Amino acid sequence: MAKADFNFYAELNDFLPRKKRGVTITHVFEERASIKDTIESFGVPHPEVDYIEVNGKPVDFSYIVTDSDRIHVYPISAATENTSSVSLVRPQPLEFPRFVLDIHLGKLATSLRMLGFDTLYRNDYDDLELAQISASEERILLTRDKGLLMRSLVTHGYYVRETNPERQVGEIMGRFALIEFVKPLQRCLRCNGLLEPVDKESILDQVPPNIQQSIDEFSRCRECAHVYWKGTHYEQMQQFIQGIIFSKPVESN
């Protein structure tokens, strides 16, 4: 009977049973299997893995686990601190962060759009669609479904640990270092389309009479034509945006 020892580091332990967190796990096996499939058999999705070391050397996901292997699996937060070799599993980084979110993350999608991030979200995407969109459009898949992240199509993805929508925003901002990319109030909160200034006279039929009298500047979504203006909600949005920009990123447990 073949055996291999696995060690998972930092936030990868989130996916393991409590008794297996932070300890060496001895994996007993009979059949040949790639290290990717073996890692995911523990419940750890491959997009969460940044670096794999076997017997002191880096390997990629195609490596076949063999008897007596000593395997160390790192996420991005721990790989840079504990390894010096080039990662063979880290995907090519995206030039600009763009996202697609699953059904559980609707409020997070709205917040990311408010901050100016290209964020696709629908409550009727199925898992295959989400994986295909992530792959074909080079979008980071954010999800609360570990099984979805394990689909082979997905290269850029992340399991959102937080359940509170406000803390989710801080978690994503910190995980992907997004502060420098923030361009608030440039996207439609409803459909993700870009906003553009619009003449007041052309949208009077879409604006309540009291707003027509007190507001002169309006924007309209290029895609769905929804109209926006700086009403009472604007101050709340500004407070939210400033809170995100100047707050310390949330660290996952």
Q: Look up the CATH number of domain 2-82.
A: 3.10.20.30
Q: Over the stretch 145-180, which tens digit does the pLDDT of each residue have?
A: 999 999 999 999 999 999 999 999 999 999 999 999
Q: Over the stretch 191-246, which tens digit does the pLDDT of each residue have?
A: 999 999 999 999 999 999 998 889 999 999 999 999 999 987 888 888 889 888 77
Rounded to whole angstroms, what are the CA distances from 32 to 2, 35, 38, 106, 145? 10, 10, 10, 41, 27
Sorted by where each begins, the domain ranges of the chain are: 2-82, 92-253
Q: Are 71 and 54 in contact (CB under 8 A)?
A: yes
Greatest pairwise CA separation for the chain in angstroms: 80
Residues written for the chain: 253
Judged on CB neighbours under 10 Å (0-12, 13-18, 19+), 131 is buried
